[in-house]
Amino acid sequence: MAILARPDGTPDWRRRTPRADLLVWGGWFAGVALCVYCFSFISDRTIWPFVWDAPRQGGDLIARMFPPRWSYASQLWKPLWDTINIATIGTALAVLIGVPLAFLAAHNTTPSRLFVRPVVLFIIVASRSINSLIWALILVIILGPGMLAGIMAIALRSVGFIAKLLYEAIEEIDTTQVEAVTATGASRPQVLGWAIVPQIMPAFAGLTVFRWDINIREATVLGLVGAGGIGMQMQASINVLAWPQVTTIFVLILGTVVVSEWLSARVRHAVI
Amino acid sequence: MLLKIEGLTKRYPTGDLALDNVDLLIPAGQVMALIGPSGAGKSTLIRCVNRLVEPTTGRVMLDGEDLTALGSGALRRARRRMGMIFQEYALVERLTVMENVLSGRLGYVGFWSSWFRRFPRKDIEEAFRLLDRVGLAHMADKRADALSGGQRQRVGIVRALMQDPKLLLVDEPTASLDPKTSRQIMRLIVELCTERGLAAIINIHDVALAQQFAKRIVGLRAGRIVFDGPAEELQTQALTDIYGEEDWSQTIRKAEDEEDVAEEVA
Amino acid sequence: MSATTFDAAAAARAWRPPPLIETPWLRYAVYLGALAYALLAIGTIEVNWTRAAEGIERAGRFLSGFFPPDFTSKGDDILEGLLESLTMTVVSTAVGIALSIPVALGASRNLAPLPIYLFCRGIIAVSRTFQEIIIAIVFVAMVGFGPLAGTLTLAFATIGFMAKLIAEDIEDIQASQAEAVRATGGSWFQLLAWGILPQVRPRIIGLSAYRLDINFRESAVLGLVGAGGIGDTLNTSFDRYEFDTAAAVLLVIIAIVLFCEYSSGWIRRKVQ
């Protein structure tokens, strides 16, 4: 907001000073230019005739996808059950590792701000920046294909997520409650258990089910790289272009995700 | 002397001098009110006693033991002898009243027994006796955040007493309470101190309340003690020393008037 | 205070520590259910121990790839993949945000009529249900391999994410401020610009920064299904067992994510 003086001395009101105006427009211009440049980069690597063909291709795809092959569903229950297990066990493992990391990372509970905290923060960032599919890719090479790689991939990706959100919750606690428990002569572990843990419990429960819900989604595609679950069937069906089977798989995934989202919303509602 | 403070100075890392060479003696069983404007260092002073805030220099002796020299284990044992009562009650809100009260015994039990809430039967009995004394025994299993302000402060008092302390450090106990509840809480604290022979340092910004309930008043201004004497001696000149120039004639009488009003309402 | 004498000893005998779940039958049902599930789920994991033992040697080789990582011998591929990822991120975030705002307006119950509301909520639900990878598979099938498929995928996912959160924010705004604008006789668009935009703008900017961060991370995996980006480079290096190049790619991803995280955190602090 700027109040300027006209040449005759009367005050004038404008939203921004001319200088700020110029900066804002310049910023928008630079942003648009960047997007256009980036788009031209992508466009150079695109075979446009394919793209113009996309509506026909898409129509074709949809025509081949319908009707879904429902009978295939009977072979999918076991992989679906595996998928849910990958997500659940993976989340549980991530909680086991992530909770201690969160306490080591939060600046009010870490044993050492200089050494432990930066190391733990790096572990958290590394875990978060690598997608579970990439973790799965690495783990399939190491452990061989199968559920175990999937579980570990989910766990390794979720550790960072859980630890990050939990340590933020720990840093936001009410410090007077901590002070009060400290003043009774409680030891550090007791202060943790009596003043900090009760305060972060709702956040902890909420973010755990939230991550579980995300993990169900992620676990559906881990099979694409061989890490178990329903994605293995999806990969196999796509490879042989059995699109009606793919549709059946999509519908099952959709159903599972809707149920898990509903469940996690219910739980989060109950604890907060 | 129960508590002996010698040359206590606290300078925060920001450079603010909160306490400037404070000397103070408190005999066993004495209830003392600490008054002074906001930022005078009242809260820092009592936190330096149980070392929630580390003093920069100076000594704090409790029963002849130098608290400032203690290691962390010995400090925890020393803290058991000093109960603290807080301005915003500082109850752990998501725990029940009983758990909050039992948290006063944390210094006496090991980690795992406290984690599984296994406390000696006599602690639990004592907790119920004290809760009954403040009229809250029927609330034992309520969650702390379900209580009213006055009830929470009583739970805070019981938690401090559970420590079986010799000294109470009380930080603005009435700041979040209405006038009537404030008086009830102050009366309760003073009564309990008399019953159990406890000394207390009560930080309070309400001068009238301080005069009404404490025998001895200490005035703090900018980290220095500028008044120390019996409550009756706190007159216009002393108040001007502590708080600065103002018309104090109404303040000094007000306490008894308000008390009458409160009584009538009740 | 009670007139009758209170029996503290009896009360103490009767007192039990509060359980986590109030209702006893529900408590035991939850415990038993959790135990049964744990046994069942862990039973489904098949571990091929001989394969896992072999894996230790591969894990060693993979880890040794980090000491030192090889940035140079496949330097061109890494740079190409990185540029693709970055351009995909920029374009998809810009397009996604631009499209998500009208969808968000349509998905706000306090602004849109019911049919439009349901339609926009439908878009959000579809976009959020399916993993980016699944959407990428469909787009690759439609427009061919390359970064365009990835860009479309990320833009589509951005719409669901942004529109849902912005719509929630619009539904939470102070009605009085919007009412005041309406009372001055403002049109629907003036209502948006004066009554609603000022209230939700900080959140839009914060979410955009956050989404930029997510889109980059996602762009790193879309290459696995041929949708362009650095994931392609990563996948190729894994296929060829060039672990030192793979390590270099992973480090580049982590570095950029770190950079994004700090800058998006900085932007969010600025606007709040």
Give the list of residues 6+ apart from residue B177 with CB closer than 8 angstroms, or none: B149, B150, B153, B185
Q: Provide the 3-class DSSP secondary structure of residue A193.
A: helix
Judge: B76–A177 Cβ closer than 8 Å, yes or no: no
Q: What is the pLDDT of residues A8-60, one digit of tens each?
A: 777 777 777 778 888 889 989 998 999 888 888 888 887 787 778 778 877 88
Return the pLDDT at C1. 46
A residues 90..149 contacting C (CB < 8 A) = 125-126, 128-131, 133-134, 137-138, 141-144, 146-148
Judge: B107–A184 Cβ closer than 8 Å, yes or no: yes
- Pick the closest to residue C127 from C152, C90, C91, C98 (CA basis): C152
Would you say residue C94 has pLDDT above 60? yes
- Nearest chain C residue to A54 by CA distance is C142
- Pick the closest to residue B42 from B207, B234, B247, B208 (CA basis): B207
Which amino acid does the sequence have at B21?
Answer: N
Would you say residue A158 has pLDDT above 90? yes
Return the pLDDT at B265. 45
| A/B interface, count of CB pairs below 8 Å | 82
Task: Give the highest mean pLDDT range of A139-143, A155-159, C8-12.
Answer: A155-159
At A100, the pLDDT band (50, 70, 90 cuts) reads very high
Cα–Cα separations (whole angstroms), residue C99 to C109, C128, C158: 18, 15, 9
Q: What is the pLDDT of residues A215-225, one digit of tens each?
A: 998 898 888 88
Q: In this structure, how many other beta carbons lie within 10 angstroms of the beta carbon of residue B104?
A: 30
Return the pLDDT at B257. 52
Percent of chain C beyond pLDDT 90? Answer: 7
Return the pLDDT at C2. 45
Q: What is the pLDDT of residues A236-259, one digit of tens each?
A: 888 888 888 888 888 888 888 888
**Which residues on B lie below 8 Å from C12 (Cβ)?**
121, 124-125, 127-128
Q: What is the pLDDT of residues C155-183, one digit of tens each?
A: 999 998 899 888 888 888 777 777 787 78
Interval A171-177 mean pLDDT = 89
CA distance A149 to A157: 12
At C131, the pLDDT band (50, 70, 90 cuts) reads confident
For A83-115, letters b (16+ CB in 10 Å) and e give: bbbbbbbbbbbbbebbbebbbbbbeebbeeeee
* Residue count of chain C: 272
- Nearest chain B residue to A173 by CA distance is B92
Interval C107-136 mean pLDDT = 85
Q: How far is C1 from chain A (nearest CA, A)?
A: 27
Which position has the higher pLDDT, C105 or B256? C105
Q: What is the pLDDT of residues C2-45, one digit of tens each?
A: 456 778 788 888 888 887 777 788 888 888 998 998 888 887 77
Of A177, A185, A194, the CB nearest to B76: A185
Judge: B76–A176 Cβ closer than 8 Å, yes or no: no
Of A179, A187, A201, the CB nearest to B111: A187
CA distance A212 to A206: 10
Q: Give the pairing of strands A2-5 and B31-35.
A: unpaired
Q: What is the pTM of this model?
A: 0.81
Interval A108-128 mean pLDDT = 86
Lowest mean pLDDT among A90-94, B196-200, B240-244, C51-55: C51-55
Token reading at A89:
């066990």
Return the pLDDT at B266. 42
CA distance C203 to C171: 13
B residues 151..210 contacting A (CB < 8 A) = 156, 159, 163, 169
Lowest mean pLDDT among B248-257, C218-227, C260-269: B248-257
The DSSP secondary-structure symbol of B96 reads B
B30 to chain A, any CB pair closer than 8 A? The answer is: no
User: Taking phi first (over 0 means left), then psi (-120 to 50 degrees means alpha), and beta for anything else, what does residue B197 get?
Assistant: left
Would you say residue C203 has pLDDT above 80? yes
Would you say residue A81 has pLDDT above 60? yes
C142 to chain A, any CB pair closer than 8 A? The answer is: yes
Judge: B92–A177 Cβ closer than 8 Å, yes or no: yes
**H or E element at residue A137:** helix A132-143
Judge: C17–B125 Cβ closer than 8 Å, yes or no: no
Would you say residue A119 has pLDDT above 70? yes
In tens digits, chain B (266 residues) has pLDDT values of: 889 999 999 998 888 888 989 999 999 989 999 998 888 889 999 999 989 999 999 999 998 889 988 888 899 999 999 999 998 888 998 889 999 999 999 989 888 888 888 899 889 999 999 999 898 988 888 888 889 888 999 999 999 999 999 999 999 888 888 889 999 999 999 999 999 999 999 999 888 888 889 989 999 988 899 889 898 888 888 888 888 877 777 666 554 555 554 444 44
User: Taking phi first (over 0 means left), then psi (-120 to 50 degrees means alpha), and beta for anything else, what does residue B210 get?
Assistant: alpha
Judge: B114–A190 Cβ closer than 8 Å, yes or no: yes
Q: What's the distance, CA A184 to chain centroid? A: 41
ipTM of this predicted structure: 0.85
Three-state secondary structure string covering A98-116: HHHHHHHHCCCCCCCCCCH
CA distance B260 to B9: 41
